[in-house]
Structure 1
Amino acid sequence: MTLALMIVLCRIVFPTCLVDLSLLFGKEKSTLSVIFNEMIEKIYIKFYSVLKFDYCQFRESNLLRFSQAIRERSPAMHCVGFIDGTFNKIARLIVDQEGAYNSHYQGHGLKYQTVVIPDGITSSIMRLDSSRNHDMCMYCKSQLDVMMCIAFDFTSINGPCYYLYGDPAYTTSDHMMIPFRRQTADEQELAINKSMSAVQISIEHKFAE
């Protein structure tokens, strides 16, 4: 099991080919491929619930710490992370080409919804079946709002209601904040937009990784 995990980590930590791993581990390419695929499946099954939404990461003490970290760089209060969707292009599929095609990006690919907290850790990552979904559509189908309601809402004990910050593709709610409309925003709201834009760049860095 340890060797299998080493093979997985070695393959994903930087771009490498099976032939390189074959020389390193002394195993056939076909054997390494089977080991890698089976280990990825086992890891996914074991950690699926945490990948979907890490409740442990969003415990009350951490929520306070995250909101304070963002508060240091923006006037926004009780924001604990950032949400966005991303599209990763892939080769054209042999089957179900239509489901993987996105006209906006002019190509085939996989679309993900990710939540990143201020320290750069991904605390939720989900992919739906269709790559044609709008970000808000992905948000609704993922039922992330239900999970945030459980983890973020402390109003019943006179506490705050924490929220995520997203781009204008999302809709404002108790657990979601988006930029103020420039046409109707006052100076303070425009200042919040500017400061949050600078902080939100962390999620773009995560997508780049």
Structure 2
Amino acid sequence: MEEDECLNEFRVRKCDLPILVDVLGIPNEIVCDQRSVVGGVEALCMLLKRLAYPCRYSDMMQRFGHRQVPVLCMATNSVLDYIYSAHHHRITQWNVNILNPVALRNYADCILQMGAPLDNCFGFIDGTVRPIARPGVTQRILYNGHKRIHSLKYQAVAIPNGLIAHLYGPVEGKKHDSGMLAESGLLALLQRHAISVDGHPMCVYGDPAYPLRVHLQAPFRHVHLTPQMMNPLSLASLPQKLNGVIPTPSPTFVVCPVLSLFTKPPVGLANPLHGLLPCLFCFGPVRL
């Protein structure tokens, strides 16, 4: 397989595959439930192929030596389960490697440079609704009235470098974002760890569905942006129009490669390793 072909099919360069295997700690052989043996690199490529673009296992047979569909399925799921069991703590718990005080300050500085009105915001929090097929039982629990679909929900915190800093879920589709926040215990983690080097509290920014806390900021509810507020050029001349009176910080849009987390999974597939989509987060008028 050529380099560009590998990148196109797996979204990973061919020269980086051995590094990825080593970093993830993939074993040399993956033994499936019916005792089929698949090489570690090959099994990882199966997973990458499966996650790179929606496809059937039968579409992967030619690429992987005409292995049977059950073997492809079991090998892919085995690698997926192994990666999750070995590394899920990096996003389901507080990861000091990327969330230490120095790193939090750097994230906040990057967001501030984009025009944000907060100087201590290091990330963004939101919930995402992932549709599933209508289940045969517990339909009311999984039904999301806002989106009008049966779904699973996740809560994630994203940081400016595009990584998921914290992930919670899945929960039933009817759960409100504030309910997920309470169940996740994220506020307690923020109170314990979200402190800058100089001892000041750091915060994440969410939409109006979240409560206002020291470590969690959100815009005013039921506020609509006027066309003038949406136009950056009009904001630049606003102080002169107000005879030198400086207004409060204006809403600023921040495009951040944050995560709506998953491509649509089939029924029951709720593993948080299904590709990332960019999200658009917006700073509304900040409540201080």
Q: TM-score, normalised by structure 1?
A: 0.86
State how far apart, in whole Å, the 1-side matches of 2:187 and 2:255 are.
Answer: 20
Give the deviation of 1:14 after TM superposition: 1.7
Give the deviation of 1:44 after TM superposition: 1.2
Instruction: Give the structure with higher Rg (CA).
Output: 2
CA contact (8 A) 1:84 1:203 kept: no
Give the deviation of 1:200 after TM superposition: 5.6
2:92 to 36, 52, 66: 52
User: Residues 41-72 of structure 1, C-alpha deviation per residue, up to 9 Å, x if partnerless?
Assistant: 11111112112133321112211110100111
User: Residues 2-61 of structure 1, C-alpha deviation per residue, up to 9 Å, x if partnerless?
Assistant: 221111111101222211211110210111011111221111111121121333211122
Could you say which residue in structure 2 is the equivalent of 1:208? 277
- Structure 1: unaligned runs, 5 residues or longer: none
CA contact (8 A) 2:47 2:80 kept: yes
Could you say which residue in structure 2 is the equivalent of 1:68? 109
Q: Indicate the larger mover: 124-133 or 109-118.
A: 124-133
Could you say which residue in structure 2 is the equivalent of 1:150? 192
State how far apart, in whole Å, the 1-side matches of 2:135 and 2:89 are.
Answer: 28
Could you say which residue in structure 1 is the equivalent of 2:164? 122
1:1-209 correspondence runs (5 A)? 1-26=40-65, 27-53=67-93, 54-72=95-113, 73-154=115-196, 158-180=198-220, 182=223, 187-189=247-249, 191=250, 194-195=251-252, 198-199=253-254, 202-203=257-258, 208=277
Give the deviation of 1:180 after TM superposition: 3.7
The residue identity in structure 2 corresponding to 1:203 is V
The residue identity in structure 2 corresponding to 1:58 is L
The residue identity in structure 1 corresponding to 2:81 is E
User: Residues 83-134 of structure 1, C-alpha deviation per residue, up to 9 Å, x if partnerless?
Assistant: 0011111111233322211111111111111111112211122214321111
The residue identity in structure 1 corresponding to 2:157 is V
User: Residues 128-173 of structure 1, C-alpha deviation per residue, up to 9 Å, x if partnerless?
Assistant: 432111111100100011121222135xx85211000000000111
Q: Which one has more relative contact order, counting CA pairs under 8 Å at least 6 apart? A: 1
State how far apart, in whole Å, the 1-side matches of 2:149 and 2:69 are.
Answer: 30
State how far apart, in whole Å, the 2-side matches of 1:65 and 1:56 are.
Answer: 13
Q: TM-score, normalised by structure 2?
A: 0.64
CA contact (8 A) 2:130 2:151 kept: yes
Give the deviation of 1:205 after TM superposition: 6.8
User: Residues 176-200 of structure 1, C-alpha deviation per residue, up to 9 Å, x if partnerless?
Assistant: 01114559xx9314x1xx11xx116
Q: Aligned with 1:149: secondary structure?
A: helix
State how far apart, in whole Å, the 1-side matches of 2:151 and 2:119 are.
Answer: 36
CA contact (8 A) 1:100 1:109 kept: yes
- Structure 2: unaligned runs, 5 residues or longer: 1-39, 225-245, 262-275, 279-288
CA contact (8 A) 1:116 1:123 kept: yes
The residue identity in structure 2 corresponding to 1:109 is S
Count of equivalent residues: 200
Q: Aligned with 1:82: secondary structure?
A: strand
* Percent of residue pairs identical: 28
> Which 4+ runs in 1 deviate beyond 4 A?
204-207
Note closer, same or farther for the CA distance 1:94–1:36 as it changes in structure 2 (3 Å cut).
farther
